[in-house]
């Protein structure tokens, strides 16, 4: 077994707090909003989830890297997090399906990581003080210089990031002879969303985030999909306008995460930045329509304003987060449009909410049957 000598590294928060640790051997510094994920498995899916773009991830699971990496366990083509903070980083891995170790995976993409951090203390601090910008430094840069550079990093509130992760050109996913056609607006779409649509007999055309509605419409879809993604939804004014045209078209619409927030904004309901957000794979949600609870995968730092939503004449809450009563799902009363704040495609996480994809297909079937009458 190769012996690795770890050099000192630090995590500096915007408020001046410093957490000490060790470098895993990749020298440099990286900036982003520090947040934590409570998932015990699925680290590769988390690292490649475009919704995490611009964020430094703190893993609450004490062991990271122990089961290696696999090319089939990615949600995009590259690592999306800005950096990783963990307790124990494993340079060795043990699993029949693993193709490589996590260190080589990080090294290839130059991801800065700090290990040997007291992550329990760090997570408690974030819980008490909220998500904030931070820097991981593994190259010995002075604290004063880091503070100066960190002060220039933009706050996540007001930050548009969908353009950084969206596809540059349209592409197709699924069987072109499938029964249903979906126009999907890519705000940072996860691959498992596309898999879930494809296995339900959908042929999906994925469009860049800033695609005009007429181009989405030209695919002659049976329904529209608004994807997950990173950053603040409010600056996405063009996307909000596109969503309004989708709604006016009377075609079935499904939104997830950032897409859910866009649908809220398209209906005049505001969004807000949460204190530290929801990120994990065991978040409890109540389905108001069925009275049943669901364990869900979540990853968001913004939410739809519940008070405004409850006063809206054409919107109703379908799901809420049991821990803090925030909006977890909604639907329009006059249109075939619904959305959720969490991730029914999971990856990683439980499959309690996969039925939402079935609901979307059922809405499409119903709309097609009405058209044929």
Rounded Cα distance, 287 and 157, in Å: 29
Q: Please, are residues 194 and 173 in contact by the beta-carbon 8 Å criterion?
A: yes
Q: Cα separations (Å) of 67 from 63, 83, 94, 263, 312?
A: 10, 19, 5, 38, 47
Interacting residues of 55 by C-beta distance below 8 A, sequence separation 6+:
32, 33, 34, 35, 81, 82, 230
How remote is the C-alpha of 278 from its chain's centroid?
Answer: 10
Burial of 110 (0-12, 13-18, 19+ CB in 10 A): exposed
Q: Show the tokens assigned to 369.
A: 């049957």
Strand residue runs (E) in 54-131: 55-59, 63-64, 83-85, 88-89, 112-115
Rounded Cα distance, 337 and 331, in Å: 6
List, in sequence order, every residue forming a beta bridge with 12; answer none if it has no partner: 18, 135
Q: Which residue has the tokens 């509605």?
A: 213
Q: Cα separations (Å) of 275 from 126, 157, 158, 295, 309?
A: 9, 11, 15, 22, 20
Give catalytic status of residue 343 as yes or no. yes
CA-nearest of 138, 148, 147, 91 to 110 is: 138
Strand residue runs (E) in the chain: 8-13, 18-23, 29-37, 55-59, 63-64, 83-85, 88-89, 112-115, 132-137, 171-173, 180-185, 202-207, 223-226, 253-256, 271-287, 292-304, 315-321, 327-332, 337-340
Query: Helix 237-248 crosses helix 258-266 at what angle (to 10 degrees)?
Result: 70
Q: Considering 86, 113, 202, 257, which one is annotated as catalytic?
A: 257
DSSP 8-state symbol, 205: E
> Which residues are designated catalytic?
257, 343, 345
């Amino acid at each position: 077994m190769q012996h690795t000598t770890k050099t000192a590294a630090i995590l500096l928060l915007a408020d001046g707090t410093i957490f000490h640790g060790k470098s895993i051997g990749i020298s440099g510094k990286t900036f982003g909003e520090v947040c934590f994920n409570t998932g015990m498995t699925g680290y590769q899916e988390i690292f490649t989830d475009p919704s995490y773009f611009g964020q430094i991830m703190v893993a609450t699971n004490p062991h990271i890297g122990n089961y290696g990496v696999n090319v089939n366990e990615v949600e995009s083509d590259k690592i999306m997090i800005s950096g990783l903070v963990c307790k124990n980083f494993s340079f060795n891995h043990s699993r029949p399906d693993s193709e490589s170790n996590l260190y080589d995976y990080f090294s290839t993409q130059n991801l800065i990581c700090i290990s040997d951090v007291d992550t329990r203390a760090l997570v408690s601090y974030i819980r008490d003080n909220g998500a904030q910008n931070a820097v991981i430094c593994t190259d010995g840069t002075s604290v004063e210089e880091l503070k100066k550079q960190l002060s220039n990093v933009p706050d996540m509130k007001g930050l548009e990031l969908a353009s950084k992760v969206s596809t540059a050109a349209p592409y197709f996913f699924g069987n072109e002879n499938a029964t249903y056609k979906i126009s999907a607006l890519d705000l940072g779409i996860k691959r498992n969303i596309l898999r879930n649509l494809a296995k339900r007999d959908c042929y999906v055309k994925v469009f860049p985030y800033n695609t005009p509605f007429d181009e989405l419409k030209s695919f002659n879809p049976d329904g529209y999909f608004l994807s997950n993604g990173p950053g603040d939804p409010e600056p996405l004014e063009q996307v909000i306008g596109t969503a309004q045209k989708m709604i006016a078209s009377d075609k079935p619409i499904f939104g997830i995460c950032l897409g859910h927030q866009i649908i809220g904004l398209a209906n005049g309901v505001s969004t807000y930045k949460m204190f530290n957000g929801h990120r994990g794979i065991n978040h409890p949600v109540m389905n108001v329509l069925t009275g049943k609870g669901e364990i869900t995968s979540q990853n968001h730092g913004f939410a739809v304003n519940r008070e405004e939503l409850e006063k809206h004449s054409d919107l109703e809450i379908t799901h809420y987060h049991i821990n803090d009563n925030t909006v977890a799902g909604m639907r329009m009363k006059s249109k075939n449009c619904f959305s959720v704040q969490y991730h029914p495609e999971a990856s990683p996480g439980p499959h309690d909410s996969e039925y939402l994809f079935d609901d979307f297909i059922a809405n499409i079937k119903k709309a097609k049957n009405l058209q044929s009458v």
